[in-house]
Structure 1
C-alpha cells in the first residue's frame, strides 16, 4: 500500500491528516490517552516535547554560509512578512473583541488566529515553487524563513502590539532549543545532516498530538472562517511581499507571492501561546482549527497564483533550465524543499 504517497497528494497532508485523526480521537474518545497511559499517552498528548525536538532539529538545518543574494532575498521576505503580520495584529486588536468572535459568519476568528496564520511562511512550499518558477538563489532563500518556525515570532508580534505580555524567560524558553540546534548544525555539518533527517518524520507526530486538543465540532464550524482567513493571508501579506521582492529583493514579484502562505507549523502556535498566556486559552482551540484551514487553503491557492504570475512575467521552462536551476546547487535546494514541503 502507498499510504504515504496518498497522504502527500493532499496539500500539507503529512501535517493535516494526522491532525484530523487526532481531532477524531479527541471527539470520540477524549480519555484514550489517560486510559492507555505510558508511551501511548505521551504520543497522544505530548505536543510540547515533540515540538521541542522538532524546533531543535529545524534550527540545525539552517546554514548561514549562504551568498549575499540568498540572505538579501530571505531577509527581505522574512522582515516584510513579520512587519505585515504585526500591522494586521494591531488592526485586529482594534476591531475584534478580546475573546474573539463567538457567533456569526466569522465565529472563532481572534487576534491569536490572525497572528498565527500570517506570520509564518510555508518555507518548503516556497522553495518548491521557486525551484520551478524562480532562480536558484530565490529557491535557496527559504534558509532564513525557518527562523519563523515556532512561537517566537508570534510572541514578539503579540508583545509588540500590546496584545500580550511575555516574561523574558518565556522568550528564552521558546527559542533556546532552536538556537542550540542552530549552533550545533553550523559547528558540524555532520550534525546538521544527522538532525535534519528528523525534521520530516516528526511532523505527523506533533500533527496528531495537536489534533487531539481539538474537538471535531470546532473544525466543522471553522470551515468558512478558515477559508476567509486563508484568502486574507494571501491578499494581506502577498501584495507587500511582491512589492518588497521587486524593489528590494530585485526579483519579479513571484518570490513574494510564493511566500504568502501559512506554514503547517503555525498550527501549533495557538496551543503553545495559550498555555503561556491564560487569556488566550479560551480561543486557542478555535484558532488552531482556523490556522489549519488557512494552511490548507494557501497550500492550494498560492501555487496556482504563483504559476500564473510567473508566466505573466515571462517565465518559461526553457529559460528556467537555461538559468541553471537543474545544477548541483539547485539539486541540493530541491532535496531540502522536498524534506520540508509539508511544513
Structure 2
C-alpha cells in the first residue's frame, strides 16, 4: 500500500492528515487519551513537548556558513514577512475585538489567527518551488525561514503591538530549544546531520497531538472564511515580498511570491499561545481551524501562481519573438 505517497500528494498532508485524524478522535471520543493513559495519552496530548523537540532539530539543521547571497535573500524574505504581519496586526487590532468576530461570514477571525497565518512561510514548499523556478541560491534561501517557526515571532508581534503581554522568560523559553539546537548543529556537522533528519519525521506526531485538541464542529463553522484568509495571506504578504525580492534581494519577484504561503507549523501556534496566555483559549480552536484552511489554500495556489509569474518574467526578459533577429537584419 502506498499510504505515505498518497498523503504526500495532499498539500501539507504530513501535517494535516494526522491533524484531522486527531480531530475526528477528539470530536467523537474526547476522553480517549485520558481513558488509555500512559504513552497513548502522551502521544495524543503532548503537543508542547513534541514541538520542543521539533524546534530543537530545526535549529540544528541551520548552517550558519551559508553563502552571503543565500543569507541576503532569506533575510530579506523573513524580515519582510514578519514586518507585514506586524503591520497587519496593528491594523486588525483596531477593528477586530479581543474575542474575535463571533457572527457573520468572518466568524472566527481574530488577530491571533491572522498573525499566525501571515508570519510564517512554508519553507519546504518554498524550497521545492524555487528548485524548479529559481536559482540554487534562491532555493537555499529557506535556511533562515526556520527562524519564523514556533511561537516566538507571533509572541513578539502580539507583545510589540500591545495585544498581549509576555514575561521576558516566556520569550526565552520559546526560543531556547531552537538556539541550543542551532549552536550544537554548527559546532559539529555530525550533530546537524543527525538532528536535521528528525524535522520531517516529527511533523505527523505534532499534527496528531494538535488535532486531539480540536473539535471538528469548530472547523465546520469557519467555512469559507478559512479559504478567504488563505487568499488574503497570498495577496497581503505576496506583494510586499515580491517588491522586497526585486529591490533588495536582487531577484525578479519569483522568490517573494513563492514565500507567500502559510507554514504547516503555523497551525500549532494559536494553541501554544493559548497555553501561555489563557485569555486566548476561547479563540484558539477557531484560529487553528482557519490556519489549517490557509495552509491548504496557499499550498495549492502559491506553486501555481509562482509558475505563471516565473514564465511571465522569462518571456519578458527574452523580449518579443524575432525582435532581436529583425534588429540585426535592419542594421
Question: Shorter-chain TM-score: what band?
Answer: over 0.9
Give yes or no for the alignment of 1:311 onto 2:274.
Answer: no
Q: Deviation digits for residues 164-216 of structure 1, max 9, x if unmatched?
A: 10000000000000000000000000000110111111100100110111101
CA distance in 2, matches of 1:212, 1:103: 25
**SS of match in other structure, 1:171:** helix
Q: Residue 14 of structure 1 corresponds to which residue in structure 2? A: 14
Q: Residue 73 of structure 2 corresponds to which residue in structure 1? A: 73
Give yes or no for the alignment of 1:176 onto 2:170.
Answer: no
Larger radius of gyration between Structure 1 and Structure 2: 2
How high is the TM-score relative to the length of structure 1? 0.91
Contact 1:133 1:315 in 2 (8 A): no
Q: Residue 29 of structure 2 corresponds to which residue in structure 1? A: 29
Q: What are structure 1's unaligned runs of at least 5 residues? A: 317-343
**SS of match in other structure, 1:313:** helix
CA distance in 2, matches of 1:256, 1:315: 19
Report how far residue 315 of structure 1 moved: 6.8
Q: Residue 218 of structure 1 corresponds to which residue in structure 2? A: 218
Q: Deviation digits for residues 211-234 of structure 1, max 9, x if unmatched?
A: 111101011122311101100000
Report how far residue 98 of structure 1 moved: 1.1
CA distance in 2, matches of 1:221, 1:258: 30
Q: Residue 143 of structure 1 corresponds to which residue in structure 2? A: 143
Report how far residue 281 of structure 1 moved: 1.0
Contact 1:223 1:293 in 2 (8 A): no
- Structure 1: 4+ residue segments shifted above 2 A: none
CA distance in 2, matches of 1:245, 1:201: 31
CA distance in 2, matches of 1:14, 1:66: 28
Q: Residue 329 of structure 2 corresponds to which residue in structure 1? A: none
**SS of match in other structure, 2:314:** coil
Contact 1:246 1:252 in 2 (8 A): yes
Give yes or no for the alignment of 1:278 onto 2:283.
Answer: no
How high is the TM-score relative to the length of structure 2? 0.94
Give yes or no for the alignment of 1:186 onto 2:190.
Answer: no
Give yes or no for the alignment of 1:116 onto 2:116.
Answer: yes
Q: Residue 288 of structure 2 corresponds to which residue in structure 1? A: 288
Q: Residue 321 of structure 2 corresponds to which residue in structure 1? A: none
Q: What are structure 2's unaligned runs of at least 5 residues? A: 317-331
**SS of match in other structure, 1:314:** helix
Count how many residue pairs are aligned between Structure 1 and Structure 2: 316
CA distance in 2, matches of 1:222, 1:214: 13
**SS of match in other structure, 2:282:** coil
Give yes or no for the alignment of 1:133 onto 2:115.
Answer: no
CA distance in 1, matches of 2:185, 2:102: 44
Aligned Cα root-mean-square deviation (Å) = 0.9
Q: Deviation digits for residues 58-112 of structure 1, max 9, x if unmatched?
A: 1000001011111110000010000000000011100111100111101101000
Q: Residue 64 of structure 1 corresponds to which residue in structure 2? A: 64
